[in-house]
Amino acid sequence: MAGSANPSSGGDRVKVAVQLDRRRRTLLYTGLSVTVVLAVVIAGSFAVDAASTTQLAGRNLSPSWAHPFGTDRLGRDMFARVLSGLRLSLVVGVSAAAISGVLAVLMACAAAVGGRVVDRAITWVVDLFLALPHLVLLILLAFALGGGTRAVIIAVAITHWPSLTRVLRGHARHVVSSDYVAISRQLGRGRWWIARRHVAPQLLGHFLVGTVLLFPHAILHEAALSFLGLGVDPAEPSIGVLLAESMRFLSAGAWWLAVLPGLCLLVVVKLVDAIGENVRALLDPRSHHL
């Protein structure tokens, strides 16, 4: 009996050790990704002045030690402009993703406690937004709002909440069907009290993960709108603006004007996406990553 118990206990210890090792590794990856993203934001804040400084004697210089990303048509340092543009993209992405997440939570809570009519109305609106071509809707909204940073934030926020709402609605309905919510109803608590005290707190983890996962999409769509001329002010060095300006110089061999900003954007998007995936792995006990 004693001999048969030892392998089982040893296997449990190994399993726990593996889970702890995966959790530490996930925390390490998350910490590194957050550190890099914060470093980009801080460096971009310090690079604002350098990004707008012109040197006409050094126009369209290729990458070198003095200018790691080269210079543009006005002699502005592309490395500083890329850092400043990434900071702007991150600010726009955070704002749009946060607004989308809040809208999704409000809609999910309303669908869960508002009754059958409200639930059907919200479901219909979600299905309508998901059925529309995403990029076309973004372009129309940005154009209707007149362009600019505020228009981009509003357009991205309005078009990104439906998918998260569908996920949160399912979790909210599960919470509403629980026993403690039934007891609250028997005690005379109203619908919105239940939504505020019971439903919304249970959606906090899903809201956090969903908002972080919306973040990369918001960054890419901001870059796309800016590239098309419907995004931030062209005087601002956003990544979309840098890519749009570089198109006229690609035929002249100035590849660095498009390739390096594009690669930096992809790296930042991948880092933010990794943060979202790791946060989901940490918050979800059933995740296979842990």
Residue 286 has pLDDT above 80, yes or no: no
Asked if the model's pLDDT at residue 289 lies above 50, the reply is no
Quote the tokens at residue 90.
Answer: 């991150």
Looking at residue 103, its pLDDT comes to 92
- Give yes or no for a contact between 100 and 161, defined as CB atoms under 8 angstroms apart: yes
pLDDT digits (tens, 9 = 90+) for 152-179: 888 888 888 888 898 898 888 888 888 8
Give the residue among 196, 218, 12 at the shortest CA–CA distance from 100. 218
- Can you read off the two tokens belonging to residue 20? 């702890």
Q: Provide the mean pLDDT of the chain.
A: 81
Q: Please give the average per-residue pLDDT across 42-62, as a whole number.
A: 82
Which superfamily is assigned to 84-283 in CATH?
MetI-like (1.10.3720.10)
Predicted local confidence at residue 7, as pLDDT: 52
- Cβ neighbors of 32 (< 8 A, separation 6 or more) are none
290 pLDDT tier (thresholds 50, 70, 90): very low
For the chain, the structural domain boundaries read 84-283
91-146 pLDDT, tens digit each: 888 888 899 999 999 999 888 888 889 889 999 999 888 888 888 888 888 888 88
Determine the average pLDDT of the residues in 12-21: 54
End-to-end CA distance of the chain: 32
Q: What is the mean predicted confidence (pLDDT) over 16-39? A: 72
Directed axis angle between helix 256-283 and helix 239-246, to 10°?
A: 150
pTM metric for this prediction: 0.79
